Amino acid sequence: DLAGLPLHAAERVQGDPIIIAGDALADTPEVMADFIDIFITGDGEAPLTQLVELVRRMKKQGATRDAIIEQAALTIPSVYAPKFYQPQYNADGTFANLSVLKEGVPASVHRSHLTSMSESPAIPSPLVPLSEGVHERVVMEIMRGCPNACRFCQAGATRLPVRFRSVDDIVDQARAALASTGYKEISLLSLSTSDYPRLDELIDRLNAEFGPQHVSISLPSLRVGSQLTVLPKLTSGVRKGGLTIAAEAGSDRLRRAIRKNITEEDMIAGVRAAYEAGWRSVKVYFMAGLPGETPEDIDEIYYLCRRLSDARRDIDGQRGAITASVSWFVPKPHTPMQWSPMREADYFFGVRRQLMDLAGRGTVTFKFHRIERSVLEGVLCRGDRRVGAAIEAAWRNGARMDSWDEHFRYANWTAAFTQTGIDPAIYAHREFPTNQPLPWSHITCFRDETFLEKQYAEMQEVLNEKE
């Protein structure tokens, strides 16, 4: 709109640019299908290069914009061009399937993935802004994908297989980036950096070469268990951040159900090691609203935090300060929990009250995600093509930059659902049948739906176990 282009892909004509989108949005593209000409699914490096070469070649030959979009959909396996697919719906209003309108266009679009991280070299001279930036550091992607396979996690499920950048490459690329930027910090990024198999060796090499230049190393988060050996090495750097633990659920039973393989023992040991190494703040992430969750599981969120806080007593006799960040479970496409219903907003308000009442008696500080935004996320991430009309209506109602609390107005969205006749409950709060196509079934990932369904059944088995 700001560029003066027609919003809808169907209204764009010769001379208008081809609008492309990628990353997580492309894994569940239907809600934005009305607005986007081409989605690139999966790792962008290879298909984006192919697309650029295709556009350049066809433009030289005088091809039309429509012909370029068609050729991209026909020849680049990870390209999804929505105009060649037509959604069908059941009589009860639920999604039925997606039919292919053009011969030769694939019924399933395969998410692209690099075979090796060497196909994605780090940028040797990253741009350095003239004004102060939020993150003034060299960012190194050391691994793509995550080996942990937590059942709720979309990033873990879609970004497979796991690929590692070699220690030599990381050190070489960090050297070049530090020299060209002057930054004094290296951040080692990935979905789960402490699962990088040679993390110890990598940190030793980086400390040995860049430590004398007062360059510190930061990790976005650490997983208790493997983190224990690297904590003291990280504290030798200039910057000492807080320890983050993704517990996700208060009870071992729920953690087993969602396949979050972390025990309370691991967490206590991790917190103790952090305090011993001089770390001061500990943040624990939880998710509430999981299938099979009981009021006792919610209590356990608080009591686990208390036990983590008490773990500091063995070190210096004081209780540790724990910040617990609680988000609300949203069933994510392409995960084993994609079929689960999401709880309704009232349930989350009740959980928040329950935890705040408990926190009043202790030193644990709770922070909560905005409940309405999570419900909205539940609608948008499992939505089909009809939800695009509600997105447009919300935007026309004034919705902008909704990730910022100060800009988020849920009323823009509730009005939009009413205006467009969209029932948010059928997307967010319904259990989806496992034997029917889903609005994102045509985007295929490394693991197929049979695998996901088996995992979903295994989760139910854990939840049905007798205490």
x/- map, 88-127, ligand SF4, by CB under 6 A: ----------------------------------------
Query: Given the complex with ligand SF4, which of 32 and 219 has the nearer CB atom?
Result: 219
Q: Is 178 in the site for ligand SF4 (CB under 6 A)?
A: no
Shortest Cβ distance from residue 190 to ligand SF4 (Å)?
A: 9
Shortest Cβ distance from residue 329 to ligand SF4 (Å)?
A: 12
Q: Is 146 in the site for ligand SF4 (CB under 6 A)?
A: yes
Q: Is 192 in the site for ligand SF4 (CB under 6 A)?
A: yes
Q: Is 162 in the site for ligand SF4 (CB under 6 A)?
A: no
Shortest Cβ distance from residue 223 to ligand SF4 (Å)?
A: 7
Structure tokens, 157: 């499920």
Residues belonging to the chain = 467
Stretch that binds ligand SF4, among 58-66, 144-152, 286-294, 368-376 (CB under 6 A): 144-152
Structure tokens, 322: 């724990």
Helix then strand then coil, in percent of the chain rounded to 5, is 40, 15, 45
Stretch that binds ligand SF4, among 5-13, 72-80, 146-154, 284-292 (CB under 6 A): 146-154
Residues 27-86 interacting with ligand SF4 (rule: CB under 6 A): none
Nearest to 77 by CA among 101, 102, 107: 107
Strand, helix or coil at 166?
coil
Q: Is 150 in the site for ligand SF4 (CB under 6 A)?
A: yes
Task: Give how far the C-alpha of residue 115 lies from the chain's centroid of Cα atoms, to the nearest Å.
Answer: 21
288 contacts 348 by C-beta, under 8 angstroms? yes
Residue sitting closest to ligand SF4 (CB): 156
Size of the residue set binding ligand SF4 (CB under 6 A):
9
Q: Is 330 in the site for ligand SF4 (CB under 6 A)?
A: no
Strand, helix or coil at 66?
helix
Q: 10 Å Cβ neighbour count for 407?
A: 12
Q: Is 156 in the site for ligand SF4 (CB under 6 A)?
A: yes
CA 324 → CA 141, 157, 316, 363, distances in Å?
Answer: 27, 25, 22, 11
Shortest Cβ distance from residue 86 to ligand SF4 (Å)?
A: 34
Among 79, 191, 301, 459, binds ligand SF4 (CB under 6 A): 191
Stretch that binds ligand SF4, among 147-155, 282-290, 301-309, 430-438 (CB under 6 A): 147-155
Stretch that binds ligand SF4, among 142-150, 209-217, 276-284, 416-424 (CB under 6 A): 142-150
Residues whose CB falls within 8 Å of the CB of residue 435, separated by 6 or more in sequence, listed in order:
none
Shortest Cβ distance from residue 145 to ligand SF4 (Å)?
A: 9
Stretch that binds ligand SF4, among 151-159, 236-244, 328-336, 365-373 (CB under 6 A): 151-159
Strand partners for 443: 109
What's phi and psi for 302, nearest 5 deg?
-70, -45
Shortest Cβ distance from residue 410 to ligand SF4 (Å)?
A: 27
Q: Is 342 in the site for ligand SF4 (CB under 6 A)?
A: no
Shortest Cβ distance from residue 194 to ligand SF4 (Å)?
A: 9
Q: What number of CA atoms fall less than 13 Å from residue 83's CA on the CB side?
A: 20
Stretch that binds ligand SF4, among 148-156, 270-278, 337-345, 362-370 (CB under 6 A): 148-156
Whole-angstrom Cα distance, residue 195 to residue 172? 21
Task: Give how far the C-alpha of residue 435 lies from the chain's centroid of Cα atoms, to the nearest Å.
Answer: 26
227 contacts 246 by C-beta, under 8 angstroms? no
322 contacts 309 by C-beta, under 8 angstroms? yes
Shortest Cβ distance from residue 231 to ligand SF4 (Å)?
A: 18
| Edge-to-edge strands, sheet with 282-288 | 243-248, 282-288, 322-328, 365-368
Query: Given the complex with ligand SF4, which of 149 and 426 has the nearer CB atom?
Result: 149
Shortest Cβ distance from residue 455 to ligand SF4 (Å)?
A: 12
Among 48, 96, 155, 269, binds ligand SF4 (CB under 6 A): 155
Shortest Cβ distance from residue 447 to ligand SF4 (Å)?
A: 12
DSSP secondary structure letters along 290-338: -TT--HHHHHHHHHHHHHHHHTTHHHHSSPPPEEEEEEE----TTSTTT
Shortest Cβ distance from residue 259 to ligand SF4 (Å)?
A: 8
Query: Given the complex with ligand SF4, which of 81 and 288 has the nearer CB atom?
Result: 288
Whole-angstrom Cα distance, residue 106 to residue 108? 5
Residues 362-381 interacting with ligand SF4 (rule: CB under 6 A): none
Q: Is 333 in the site for ligand SF4 (CB under 6 A)?
A: no
Q: Which residue has the tokens 């910057």?
A: 239
395 contacts 42 by C-beta, under 8 angstroms? no
DSSP secondary structure letters along 248-262: ESSSHHHHHHTT---
Shortest Cβ distance from residue 232 to ligand SF4 (Å)?
A: 23
19 contacts 70 by C-beta, under 8 angstroms? no
Residues at the contact surface with ligand SF4, assessed by CB under 6 A: 146, 148-150, 153, 155-156, 191-192
